[in-house]
Amino acid sequence: MARVLGLGGVFFKAQDPKALAAWYQTNLGITLDPPYGDDCFGASLRVEGLPADAMQVWSIFSKGTEYFGRPEQQFLINFLVDDVPGLLAQVEAGGGKRLGDVQEESYGTFGWFEDPEGNKVELWSPHGSEG
């Protein structure tokens, strides 16, 4: 049987995709690829060199979940990062809005923020990978 091997990408809409992509590049250190046409901007994030305990998670939440932030938000991006508190500080300095406190779980450190267009984003660092 054919099967899924991993996440191939995360795609979402923005009011100003070029500006929002540039914001993510400046404040999260994402190196952008050349544009994919006139209205698509993004990055190819390679898996080489990730911590041994890193993983890709696929989850389906109930329609009424409050975990994604605004009720109309239909997705939640979770970025695997090297330093959750440090990245949250960068995001705040760059105009993002920090949401709540950093949380320690048995499987890593978590933090959340809203980007300039109001999308809630989750940051995760597995234990042993914090910089």
Q: Which residues, 6+ apart, have CB-to-CB distance to 25 below 8 Å? A: 31, 32, 43
Region 14-34: mean pLDDT is 94
Q: Which of 108, 93, 86, 87 is nearest to 121 (CA)?
A: 87
pLDDT above 70 coverage of the chain, percent:
97
**17-45+69-125 has which fold?**
2,3-Dihydroxybiphenyl 1,2-Dioxygenase; domain 1 (3.10.180)
Answer yes or no: is pLDDT of 130 > 90.
no
Distance, in Å, from the CA atom of 96 to the CA atom of 94, rounded to the nearest integer, reads 6
What element of type H or E holds 27? Answer: helix 17-28
pLDDT 10s digits, 45-93: 888 878 888 888 889 999 999 999 999 999 999 999 999 999 999 999 9
